[in-house]
Amino acid sequence: MMKRFWMVGVAAASLALAAGCGEAPQGGDAGAQAPAPAPAQGVESDVVALPPPPKDDDVVASVGEATLTWGALQARVAEEIAAFEKSSGQAVPAEMRPQFEQNVRMRQVANFIEGTLIANAAQAAGVKVDEAARAAFAERLQKEAGQTVEQLVASSPYDKERTERLLEQSILATTLFEDVVLKDVAVSDEEVAAELEKNAAEGALAQQALEACAKRIAEGAATFEDLVQSDSLVKREMELPEEQLAQNFPEAAVKAIQGTPEGGVTPIVDVPGAKVMFKVLKRAAAAPDAESEAKKAKLEEIRARALKGEDFAKLAEEYSDCPSGKRAGGDLGEFGRGMMVKPFEDAAFSQPVGEVGEVFKTPFGWHIVKVTARDDAAGKVRASHILLLSEDKPAAVTLLPLVKAVPAQATAEDIRAALTNERRGKALQEWFEAERAKQGVTSTLYPELGARPAAGAHP
């Protein structure tokens, strides 16, 4: 019912359009952290002493002369988690917090390293953020995200000063990458033509292979099911509501499926990335939930009990078919518009706070909602509900696909864009690796984020 989008962590890169843009060091950090001593050899003991925790001024990562201390890192982690909780509207569950903090901590060390590498390289190359670069960023933001810079700043979970600093760093990274690192990355017309020819050849081979399968089936040399097991990329049947066919397959494939009787096999059809024949194993007619009215009546009784003063949370725990019933007494937490199906959203944003609303229906079943808080200015509401599942069974078709993979159908422009993105990604990766070695990156906390040894080098 709720469209949830969980973030692994809130990092500086969340505001950056350029890959790898982290926050540059603020300076003033000092100190060094020695590696934890190795256990004494040949000494047996029932007690293993753990290394002491880092001190605030212990250095956990460095790029040349720039350092990140444990204290500064912990402050970053706390700030990122606070920003996550603010933007998501919910606290990190206690049982998930240690791993969550670890994920954020590692990302913040990576941000420090990447941001410092970028800042140093930009300074060495004479790259600066000017008004033209800011205007280009604003234009791209409007085009790709439909936002102005002012709207982005206003919606940021960070304060205005930090948000603007992150934006400047993002623009600096983009300028450095486009003007220096990636300026020579290109794809020729000949390479695009060769890729088109290769794709066409692979598609023809897949078509021939399926035609051979169809011939063997027609001659009785093999069954469709045998060929699925021996020749198909997909080896399991799938059941889909008829109304969802168009969401999963192109129009020609949908028409072929709809025009094939139960037990029949479709002609060869194109779907993205494959050529396919489908065997229609079964068709099932639509069937309404026979118990729908009984469930509605049951929920009316539950609502009446709530109106008489029974605890809504206990009723949700006892009767609701939604996991929120057992987990949180029906509490769904805070949510905004667009996060729930429309009938539920309408009820939550229109009911008076503290009252139990009328019984209503969504595609999931029958609901009653109790709104516990609402912030109309922010467009947020908090509510609990009780759900009795009642889903009508739609008309459905069960298909067994015989699939041969082919390159996704693509235009010359698509191919040029894909090859360009691939090469840009590789160029950025190679640039970062070279800069790690050149600028001298180390991390006692996450050694894997430091400079890699040169090929053939020995420790």
Q: How confident is the model at residue 48 (pLDDT cuts 50, 70, 90)?
A: low
Mean pLDDT, residues 111-135: 95
Check pLDDT > 70 for residue 26: no
Confidence of residue 38 (pLDDT cuts 50, 70, 90): very low
Q: Where in the chain is the domain with CATH 3.10.50.40?
A: 292-389
Does 12 or 92 have the greater pLDDT score?
92
> Does residue 255 have a pLDDT over 80?
yes
Q: Give the tokens for residue 420.
A: 């360009």
Q: Tens digits of per-residue pLDDT, 225-237?
A: 999 999 999 999 9
Distance CA 191, CA 65 (A): 44
| 12-33+53-183+426-449: CATH number | 1.10.4030
Whether the pLDDT of residue 339 is over 70: the answer is: yes
Full-model pTM: 0.60
pLDDT in tens, 145-156: 898 999 988 888
Q: What is the mean pLDDT of residues 411-431?
A: 95
Alpha helices in 89-188 (DSSP H): 97-125, 131-145, 149-155, 160-176
Tell me the average pLDDT across 395-407.
95
Instruction: Kindly state the average pLDDT of the residues 258-287.
Output: 95
- Quote the pLDDT of residue 86: 86
The CATH class that applies to domain 292-389 reads alpha beta
**Domain boundaries for CATH 1.10.4030 within the chain:** 12-33+53-183+426-449
Reply yes or no on whether the pLDDT at 33 is more than 60.
no
pLDDT number for residue 363: 87
Give yes or no for residue 40 having a pLDDT over 80: no
CA dist 20 and 170 (Å) reads 9
- Kindly state the percentage of the chain with pLDDT values over 90: 75
Q: Could you tell me which residues are beta bridge partners of residue 386?
A: 368
Q: Quote the pLDDT of residue 458.
A: 47
pLDDT digit string, tens, across residues 437-449: 999 999 999 999 9
Torsion of CA 195, 199, 204, 208, to 10 degrees: 130
Q: For residues 133 and 171, is the Cβ–Cβ distance under 8 A?
A: yes
Tell me the pLDDT band of 66, cut-offs 50, 70 and 90: very high
Instruction: Quick: pLDDT tens for 235-249.
Output: 999 999 999 999 999
* Least confident piece of the model among 98-112, 248-262, 444-458: 444-458
Where residue 87 falls among pLDDT bands split at 50, 70, 90?
A: confident
* Predicted pLDDT at 391: 84
Contacts of 199 (CB under 8 A, 6+ apart): 406, 407, 409, 410, 415
What integer pLDDT is reported at residue 455 of this predicted model? 54
Q: What is the mean pLDDT of residues 369-387?
A: 93
The model's pLDDT over 158-213, given as tens digits with 9 standing for 90+, comes to 889 999 999 999 999 999 999 999 999 999 999 999 999 999 999 999 999 999 99
Q: Cα–Cα distance between 222 and 263 in angstroms, integer?
A: 16
Mean pLDDT of 79-93: 89
CB 326 within 8 A of CB 335: no
Name the phi and psi angles at 294, rounded to 5: -65, -40
Check whether 41 has a pLDDT greater than 60: no
409 pLDDT above the threshold of 90: no
